[in-house]
Amino acid sequence: MERIVFLDRATIAPQVSLRRPAFDHHYVEHDHTAPGDVPARLDGATIVITNKAPITAETLERLPALRLVAVAATGTDCVDKAACAARGVAVANIRGYAVNTVPEHTFALILALRRNVVAYRESVLAGRWQQSGQFCYFDHPIRDLAGARLGIIGEGVLGQRVAEIAKAFGMVPLFAAHKGKSGLGPLYTPWQEVLETSDVITLHSPLTPQTRGMLAMPEFEAMKRRPLIVNTARGGLVDEAALVEALDRGLVGGAGFDVVDGEPPAPDNPLMRAALRPNVILTPHVAWASDEAQQALADQLMDNIERFVAGRPTNLVQGAY
List the catalytic residues.
234, 263, 285
Nearest to 165, CA basis, from 259, 99, 74, 229: 99
| Pure H helices in 153-216 | 157-168, 191-197
Q: How far apart are CA 310 and CA 257, in angstroms?
A: 40
Neighbours of 263 (CB within 10 A): 12
Cβ count near 94 (within 10 Å): 25
Are 178 and 128 a contacting pair, CB within 8 Å?
no
| Chain centroid to CA 39 | 27
* CB contact at 8 A, 94 and 301: yes
H or E element in which residue 189 lies: strand 188-189
What is the three-state SS of 209-238? CCCCCCECHHHHHCCCCCCEEEECCCHHHE
**Could you give the CA distance from residue 250 to residue 226 in angstroms, rounded to a whole number?**
7
Number of separate helices (H) and strands (E) present in the chain: 12, 12
215 CB neighbour count, 10 Å cutoff: 24
Residues 6+ apart with CB under 8 A from 184: 177, 178
Note the Cα 141 to chain centre separation in Å. 29
